[in-house]
């Protein structure tokens, strides 16, 4: 990620007395550490965490308009998202969404110099990706198993993706 424009959002629970301006400033510094260009930033107070998108629907719509107006393709949410929350936000906002862990992996990746360091970051990144695969397209069956009416569904896309990532992880572990 180089010279890409990003929106930075720091969500916080309203009953938490954390210094939100300091946290937002820190979030902006993190995205700038890998040459991302922050075009808009904001702290958003939450009464509670939405299990589907982390932030409430009203703020998702505000962000959707801001992303469209600024022609942004990347949103950084300064928190840890579940795989489902990340997928739902990406589907709603029509842009890539990264959370704090994803950004930190990007920072480590951009700064790794040695071959072993690069492989270690790649390994951590693949393990993170594997844990975040969600059932976003399980309606697509890759094949049918067996013959006739006895055959059940074959390998689904998510299973194929997990298998491929596991193979990559094993290759990297052997190199390290």
Q: Give the mean pLDDT of 103-107.
A: 94
Assess whether pLDDT exceeds 70 at residue 135: no
Question: Is residue 110 within 8 Å of 126, Cβ to Cβ?
Answer: no
Give the predicted TM-score (pTM) of the model. 0.78
**Tens of pLDDT, residues 66-103:** 999 999 999 999 999 999 999 999 999 999 999 999 99
Which residue's entry shows tokens 């009464």? 47
Assess whether pLDDT exceeds 80 at residue 175: yes
Backbone phi, psi, residue 46, to 5°: -115, 140
C-alpha angle 90/93/99, rounded to 5°? 45
Quote the CATH superfamily of domain 5-106.
GTPase HflX, N-terminal domain (3.40.50.11060)
Assess whether pLDDT exceeds 80 at residue 155: no
What's the pLDDT band for 3 if we cut at 50, 70, 90?
Answer: confident
Assess whether pLDDT exceeds 70 at residue 139: no
Domain ranges of the chain: 5-106, 112-175
Assess whether pLDDT exceeds 60 at residue 2: no
Q: How would DSSP label each residue in 109-134?
A: HHH--SHHHHHHHHHHHHHHHHHH--
């Amino acid at each position: 990620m180089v010279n890409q424009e990003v929106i930075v959002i720091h969500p916080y629970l309203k009953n938490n007395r954390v210094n939100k301006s300091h946290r937002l400033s820190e979030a902006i510094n993190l995205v700038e550490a890998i040459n991302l260009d922050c075009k808009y930033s904001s702290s958003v107070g939450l009464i509670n965490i939405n299990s589907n998108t982390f932030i409430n629907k009203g703020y998702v719509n505000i962000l959707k308009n801001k992303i469209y107006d600024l022609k942004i393709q990347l949103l950084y949410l300064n928190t840890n998202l579940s795989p489902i929350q990340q997928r739902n936000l990406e589907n709603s906002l029509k842009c890539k969404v990264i959370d704090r862990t994803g950004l930190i992996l990007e920072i480590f990746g951009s700064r790794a110099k040695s071959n072993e360091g690069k492989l270690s970051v790649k390994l951590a990144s693949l393990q993170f990706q594997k844990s975040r695969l969600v059932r976003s397209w399980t309606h697509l069956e890759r094949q049918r198993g067996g013959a006739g009416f006895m055959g059940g569904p074959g390998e689904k896309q998510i299973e194929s993706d997990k298998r491929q990532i596991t193979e990559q992880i094993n290759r990297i572990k052997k190199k390290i």
